[in-house]
Each structure stands twice: as C-alpha cells, then as structure tokens.
Structure 1
Amino acid sequence: MRAKTPHALWFTIVIGVIALVGSMSIAVSVGAVSVALDTVLGILVNKIVPDSVAQDWSMGREAIVWDIRLPRTILACFVGAGLAMVGASLQAVTRNPLADPHLLGISAGGAFGAILALLHTGLFAGLLTVPLLAFLGSLAATLLVLAVSQFASATSADRLVLAGVAVSFIVMSAANVLIFLGDPRATHTVVFWMLGGLGLAQWDQLIYPAVILLGCGTYLWLKSGTLNAMTVGDETATTLGIPVARFRLTIFVIGALITGVMVAFSGIIGFVGLMIPHIVRLLVGGDYCRLLPMSGLCGAVFLVWADIIARTIMAPDDMPIGIVTGLIGGVFFVWLLRRKMA
C-alpha cells in the first residue's frame, strides 16, 4: 500500500526507523558469540556515560560489541543507504528502471581505484588514499559508460545498461591485471574488495562515509523536484528550465562520489541500488521527496540484515556480504524483468 498522505508517510517513516533500530540491536547481539540485548544496552550506555551502569560483563564481550559489531553495523547502514539513494537517483536521470551503480560499472570503478591504492600506489594521502582513488575510479567508470553509450548510440534504457555491463567487465579485467601484477603476499587483501564485506569497519574511519552520505544525500533530497521532472522526459524537464545535460552529469558525479567512498570501505556490494528503490515505490509512490529518504532507510535495514545472514550462516566464519546481496539481487532482477514484460 502506498503512503500517499503526509500522515501515512510519517507512519511509514516511523515504522522504518523502528525496524532499523531493532535490526541494528539484533545485528550487534548475534554472531559466533551471542550477547544478550540487555548486556548490549548496558555496554552502550556505559560507553556514552561512563560508570553509569554496573559492569557485569567481560571485557571480551565489551570489545565484541563496541569495537567490532557496532561500527560494522553502522557502516552497513551507511553503505546500504548510500547505494539505495544512488540507485534511485540514477533511475530518474536515465529513466531506466534497471539503473544501478553495480550494473552501470560504477562499483567496479571504485574497486579498481581501491585495489590500485592497496597494491601499487601506497597510502600517499594517508587514510584518504583509498576513498580518494575509489571515487576517481568510480568517476572514470561513469564517464566511460557515458562515452561508450554515445559512441555506440546506446540511447535507450536497455542499451545503456548493456553499455554499463560492458564497461564493468572491462574495468574488472583491468582490476584483475592490477592484482596479477601486485605483490602475491598482499593480493589476499583485495579479495575483500572483490566480494564485499564489512569486517574492516573501524570507528576512526566511519567519519568519511558519514560525511559523504549526509552531504550528498541532502543535495539529492533538495533536488527531489528536479528528479521528478527528469522521470517525465528531457523535453518536459527542459521546458521547466532545467539544464538537463548538466544536471544528469551532476547526478552521475554525485553517484560516483557516494559509490566510490562506500566501495572503499565495503568492497563491491551489488543490487542494493536496483532493488530498494523499486520496493520503496510500492510503499510511498514515485515522488522523490518521499522516495529518497525512504530508500536510504530501507537500504540501511536491508544491508544490516544481509550482514546478519553473512555472519551467522557459516559462523564462526564470515561469508562475504556481496554473495548474499548478489543472490537476493539476482532473484529480484529476474522478477523485475518478468514484471516489466507482463
């Protein structure tokens, strides 16, 4: 059911926030070592207000909750929200229901930049090196998709996706070359970027995806009216005074920035940007003023649960989260194709 009235929309948002908080609580408590929810709450309160709760838990459980699972869960929220909002925005400016940062090669470009930094350039800019090169890789892949689509006259929605898939294969092949030429003793570290994972989340690095998501997400939301106009067509948007080509390029750059930074910390996680906007449209309709924040919220919930599955299905080992999202996303992709043909 679509939330068409303001009251229904706010009710949907409240339900979503409750679902997110509940999902995060479960994510922090479950795993190879289970931690009771009241213990989790006590640890969090004690960290925020020291010595406010009597400590009846071990230091090991405190380290699991505070140093490992909580930053991992927060990163899952950032990545899920960012990829979902990028997917929704790309679907508007391309008028393509299959647009997604993974399918369009943007994620592959981010992985290429991250691998380049890890194996070849070194951290010449400190902790900013990997996010910076991941963004530049995503941006280069985005521009390459646009160039290929123009060269091949792939102006239709389906052909744009095909151009993105082609670029994705090319970029991933280049990334594999980087892995082949890199130090064999260090190449095992890039498996993380190829399969996706949240296990390297750290408190001191969460500031980067947080700032990018807040800044770029706010910009996209402020441009909701323009995104609505873009879904109607270039001619209509032009008559409304919208510089269509410049705005589309801006959205691609914003999408590359968000995707590149998220990929830098999570690796390649596919299909979130494809699935979540379509699901949210069934709940709140197609108005981007509603669609974007709800996509971010639902994307966060989805990736938190995907991470729960990845951590528990083969415990104590972690399954790469990209495998989980790829499996779910592939099934959803088939369903979406079937629905569009019906």
Structure 2
Amino acid sequence: MSRYAVETLKQDGLTVIKLSDSFSGSIAELLPEVGNNLYSFTTDGREVIKTSISLATLKNEKFASSKYGTPVLSPPNRINKGTFSFLERTYHFPINEPPDYHLHGELSVRAWEVLDCGASDEQGAWVISQLRYGDLPDILDYFPHSLTFTITYRLLDGKLSMDSCIKNEGSGEAPFAYGLHPYFSLPYESDPNLTLQVPAKAEWPITNLSFVTGRPAITELSEAIQQGIALADYPELGCTLLTIDPESDFINRLVLPNAGYTIAYQLDAQFPFVLLFRPSWDQAFSIEPYTYVTDAFNLPYEHELTGAQGIKAGEERRITTSLWIESNT
C-alpha cells in the first residue's frame, strides 16, 4: 500500500482536494473552487498553514480569499488607480479596493478546473489545476491576453512543492506579474522568540500600502534579516519589501525555538522579490514572493531593477516553490 493518497471531499458544500503522506504525517488541503487556495498544510503534526474561518466564509466574504491560506496573485499587490501602460497599450483594471486601487488580481477569487490528480510511491500525491483567461470574457475586456495558469501541487517525502506554469496562448506580448501570498501559522504568544531569516540583498523604501518610494539599498534590516530578526515586535499590518540575493539558496526560514522546529520556504530564482507582511486578523506571517515590486509598470526605474516584464506570445514560464519543516535539533 502506498504511503501517499489523494482524496476528493465535500466540506461546507465545497469540493476539497486532500493530499496525504502517511510516513511524514503530512496533509495538504486545497480549494479549487476558490482560487485554487492551499488553505491548510500540516506535517509531522505541525500546522504550517492554517485557515481559521470556514470554507464557506472563505468563498463568500469579500477579500477573504486573499486573507487566508495561500492566495495566488496576478498581478500581486496594488496597482495605483488600476492603470498602467505596457508596449504602448494602457490597461485599466477594476478598482476593487476603494478609493483608488486594484488589489491582487483575479486568480484568488476564481474557480479553477482540476485536470488531474493521483498518488504513487515514485511521484507522491499530486493535483493539477488550471485557470484560463480565454474562458473569462470579463477579464479579457480589460486584459486582452489569453494567459493560462496551471498549478501542480505535489506532496513528496514530506515536502510540498507548487509548480506554476504560466503560458501566453494569445497573439501578442502581455505584461507579466505573478506572486503568492502564503499565511504561515505562528504561535506568537507561546513562542515569543520567533525569528525570520531571509537571504536579502537590499530593502526597498515603501509606504504602508507597499508602494515603492525610491530605489533599494542595503539597510540595517536587510543585513540583519540574513541571520534572523525577531518577529515579536514586528507591527501588525507592517510590511517590508526586499530583493533576494541572487547568489543565495533562496530559502526563507521561520524559526520557532519553543516548538523546536523551523518552517522552510524555498523560492524560485524567478521570484527575486519578497514582501513581508504581518496580518492583524490572524496569528500568521506572510512571506510573499513576487516577480516584480508593487506597481512596477508605473515606476520611473529601469525594468531590470523592478521586475517589470512581458511574456511573449507562445512563451511559457515555470516557477516552483517548496515548503517543509526542519527540526531545530
């Protein structure tokens, strides 16, 4: 009998995909109907990602799908006035965060189609889901590019990987911006010595809404966080934007000394930026990998610095992240 299994369940009237690994005691649960959200991940009895509201609330409450679990974002964060230009075309995204912003795109609120799932000793437990802009005329009205997003979640040897494949199936080059927003469950009250390690190269000056106000620089924080900073005093709703050191291993770590384990989150080199964020509504912390800095197409800096870029017709991007826990001993 395989150590791995995949199940399709019903909860709160919604379809849940459950991946499990009996040897490592790992369970990953996804909600394809609500943004393909990885809303729960436990391993060895440790809650790594935990959603503290019902799945019905996650689906029906405005903004809930971007406040819990693992929202998938395109474009990530905010667009000022919902407007930017790329290759002589001006885009007008809907204002979904009053008074002046478009926030986080459409991927986290849309239903995804499950293409395949399975389990084997060699391949682990996996599920493949997809969302196609070509099937969504309301998105094509303001973003006329047939992008297709295909995500494979795979649980193998206690590690959970997320492979994102983004393909431009249209005829013209499209602006490209992609990010993730995992909320890692942290026991702030019982583990006051929590620390965060990020292989940072520089810090961007930003507003409290994560808009960039200047060029990145080496700062006291960007240097200290390489070895680890305490999270006890990190302010609720506080945010920090960092460029990752391209010569690093791209592994971020949340260290829980009292609990005796560390959450390890490895990014792809195609995610050169991370936004750090502590929510006020849950006991969690976010390490958000982005392909670009917030609202990059509206910044007066070179695109090589900000990550503003395009994806050509027929082009495909693959971006992989991995998540696991390590023993502190």
Coarse TM-score class (shorter-chain normalised): under 0.3
Structure of higher CA gyration radius: 1
Q: Which has the higher contact order (CA 8 A, sep 6+)?
A: 1
Q: Which has the higher strand share?
A: 2
TM-score (normalised: structure 1): 0.24
Q: Which has the higher helix share?
A: 1
TM-score (normalised: structure 2): 0.25
